[in-house]
Amino acid sequence: MTPFSDLPPARCDVFEAMRSRRSVRAFSSRPVERRVVEQILELAARAPSGTNIQPWRVWALSGRPLRDLTARITAAHAADEPGHAEEYPYYPDQWVDPYLTRRRTLGRELYRLVGIAKGDTEAMKRQHGRNYSFFGAPVGLFITIDRAMNTGSWFDLGTFLQSILLAARGFGLHSCPQQSFSQYHKIIHQDLGIPGDQVIACGVALGYEDETAPENRLETEREPLSAFATFNWTE
């Protein structure tokens, strides 16, 4: 099949895709066809990358392989299984503002919506553990990058990732990017036979939103343009 020859009309235009994309953390069991996932990935692979090296690889799971792997990781998380650690540092060693405040705001809002009281570490752990079932999504992706690549290639991975999330909106699907899987990269490498030269950068949950789930009412804010953009500009 030639890429794009069987693309259906998009369910929304690019502005609406960008506006409506958000991280969904509960999915309906409605399945997603394999061809749809292939089309999303073919579109996303149009993303730019420095000197067009396309440093991304994707491992797509649905059905039994998804259930088996997520059960294994969920069990490791629940049991605080030793020997697991993130494969790369995502967050700073030392949190500073304004990032710390924004991060706390997100956590507070999410826990409020799902009814987790401040300090209820058991419930927080259970909520975090939902990451490892891809929040019930029928499709789970892992995005990996060759260990030989340098920092710059992670830009390329970011453009690719966002393209997946936006293309998903074009099919009426929602998503959640998930760095939390990095913690269990050993299990993922082993279970899927992913070569050791690949770093598990993140997972992506993909599917139809569970519209009844309180966590999906989460609305994240953004700083106004003036807070992050500087214009030196003459007309």
Ligand X SMILES: Cc1cc2nc3c(=O)[nH]c(=O)nc-3n(C[C@H](O)[C@H](O)[C@H](O)COP(=O)(O)O)c2cc1C
Q: What residues make contact with ligand X under the rule CB under 6 A? A: 22-23, 25, 106, 131, 176-180, 202, 220
Q: Tokens at residue 120, please?
A: 């209820």
- 136, with CB counted inside 10 A (0-12, 13-18, 19+), is middle
Nearer to ligand X, 221 or 235 (CB): 221
Q: Are 215 and 113 in contact (CB under 8 A)?
A: yes
Rounded alpha-carbon distances, angstroms, from residue 78 to 73, 187, 193, 194: 9, 14, 24, 24
Least distance between ligand X and beta carbon 128 (Å): 8
Nearer to ligand X, 4 or 99 (CB): 99
Least distance between ligand X and beta carbon 136 (Å): 13
Nearer to ligand X, 4 or 91 (CB): 91
Least distance between ligand X and beta carbon 82 (Å): 21
Q: What is the chain's percent helix, strand, coil content, to nearest 5?
A: 45, 15, 40
Q: Tokens at residue 200, please?
A: 């598990």
Phi, psi of 166 (to 5 degrees): -75, -40
Least distance between ligand X and beta carbon 54 (Å): 19
Least distance between ligand X and beta carbon 181 (Å): 7
- Residue 170 to residue 40: CA distance in whole angstroms: 9
Q: Are 90 and 200 in contact (CB under 8 A)?
A: no
Nearer to ligand X, 21 or 72 (CB): 21
- Residue 136 to residue 26: CA distance in whole angstroms: 6
Least distance between ligand X and beta carbon 75 (Å): 18
- Residue 127 to residue 114: CA distance in whole angstroms: 9
Nearer to ligand X, 20 or 29 (CB): 20
Nearer to ligand X, 138 or 177 (CB): 177
